[in-house]
Structure 1
């Protein structure tokens, strides 16, 4: 039976992780994902380099062993030739020595040829491993490039989302009846202006219909009539000045 405390702890850790993911900056999370992918690719590349290096090392050992085999074969042939020449010359002792030398070279040759067969098998396996490592690196590099391209796309979408959120917030604040805090909304300002205008119109209407308002109308009419009379006097005087003088 599972420990309830361990289960509760795992639940709390999962809940905490989900909350962290919820409030984390998406831009930072995208960059972290790319950095993780780059580290994985770097690690894979290093492993592949070791595999390829092992194959190259086996190849060099194989080439050296093949060169040694050629030398041993040449030594065996040379020893046999010298043994034949000594036998033909009647020198049985030297013939025997050269024959023994040829046998020793032949024994070394057998050992070298067995070693070459083992190296060939190991080298073939190393070649396959190196080819697989190269292919894995190439595939992972393509995946990394895809992720980098996806990062560019996601960052662009993130910026668009931020701008859309700002536009939506602005439109929402403009459409609200009451603005938050001490700043009045446009509807409140409009209502205030209309109320002041209506009050002013009412006051003007009351003043116009009062006795004082009538008196002001009479005074205004008198001033207007006096102004009209004075205007006619000026016109008459101007006409008189324009007439030619007699005598």
Structure 2
């Protein structure tokens, strides 16, 4: 049976990881991925350099062993030649000593030749490993460049996403403001317009009532009567003027002249 405490702890860790993943900043995660890619590329570069360095080191050792082999072979040859010369001269002791020296050189030569053969085998393997390391290094470089391009694209996408989120949030806020209720303490334009139109409509209605009422009709009749009296009085004045012209042969009568005098001047006289 599973331990409930261990099961609960694992569940808590998984839940915490999920919440962290959901609330994580994408830019921070991109930076973390970029840093991981950089470290991985640096480690691969370091390993490739170590493999290539091992090949170079074995090449230097090969050159040194080849030189040592040549030197020991020459020394052995020289010792043998001198020993043969001493034998020919009848110097047996010197010839024996030179032969022993030649044997020492030959023994050293065998040891160096064995080491040289082993080094050649190791160098051959190092050459193959270096080629693979160089190929892997090139692949790692290409992959790292692709990762850098992907990182730049992701950063641009994050910036675009943030801009779109900000735009959507602004639009949502604007829509929310449109749905807000108006403040009752502040008059709205629609309310003021309704009041003005209602007042104007009532005024027009009152005017229509006045124009259609009995008083309105009486005023119209009185106005028409006044117009008739004015026309009649005007005709009377015209008739009087015509009669005066006919009686005076076109000249105004004496009464008319006296009428033209200023009454105020007569009083002063």
TM-score by length of 2: 0.69
> Offset of 1:146 from its aligned partner?
0.7
1:102 positional shift = 1.1
1:86 match: 86
Indicate conservation of the 8 Å contact 1:38/1:144, yes or no: yes
Tell me the CA shift for residue 179 of structure 1. 4.3
SS of residue in 2 equivalent to 1:90: coil
Q: CA deviation at 1:178?
A: 4.5
**Distance (whole Å) between structure 1 residues aligned to residue 160 and residue 176 of structure 2:** 24
Instruction: Tell me how far 1:170 sits from its aligned partner.
Output: 3.0
Q: Does 1:151 align with 2:147?
A: no
| Cα distance change of structure 1 residues 50 and 2 upon mapping to structure 2, 3 Å threshold | farther
Q: Which residues of 2 match residues 4-153 of structure 1 at below 5 A?
A: 4-153=4-153
Deviations 1:29-52 (A, max 9, x none): 111100111011112222222222
Judged with a 3 Å threshold, the aligned counterparts in structure 2 of structure 1 residues 32 and 178 are, in CA distance, closer, same or farther, namely same
1:7/1:128 CA distance change after superposition, 3 Å:
farther
In structure 2, C-alpha distance between the alignment counterparts of 1:40 and 1:94, rounded to whole Å: 67
Q: Determine the C-alpha separation between the residues in 2 that align with 1:155 and 1:214.
A: 78
Larger radius of gyration: 2
Give the number of aligned pairs: 209
1:199 maps onto 2:195 in alignment: yes
Report the alpha carbon displacement of residue 110 of structure 1 after superposing the two structures with TM.
0.6
Taking structure 1 as reference, are residues 139 and 2 closer, same or farther at Cα in structure 2, changes over 3 Å only? farther
SS of match in other structure, 2:90 = coil
* Structure 2: segments with no counterpart, 5+ residues: 212-218, 220-269
Aligned mates of 2:104, 2:61 — CA distance in 1: 23
Q: CA deviation at 1:124?
A: 2.0
Shift of 1:177: 7.1
Q: Kindly tell me: are residues 136 and 166 of structure 1, through their superposed partners in 2, closer, same or farther at Cα, counting changes over 3 Å?
A: same
TM-score, scaled relative to structure 1: 0.75
Q: Matches of 2:27 and 2:98 in 1, distance apart? A: 81
CA distance in 1, matches of 2:129, 2:6: 43
1:128 offset after TM fit, Å? Answer: 2.4
Q: Where do 5+ consecutive residues of structure 1 fail to align?
A: 219-247
Which is worse superposed, 26-35 or 157-166?
157-166
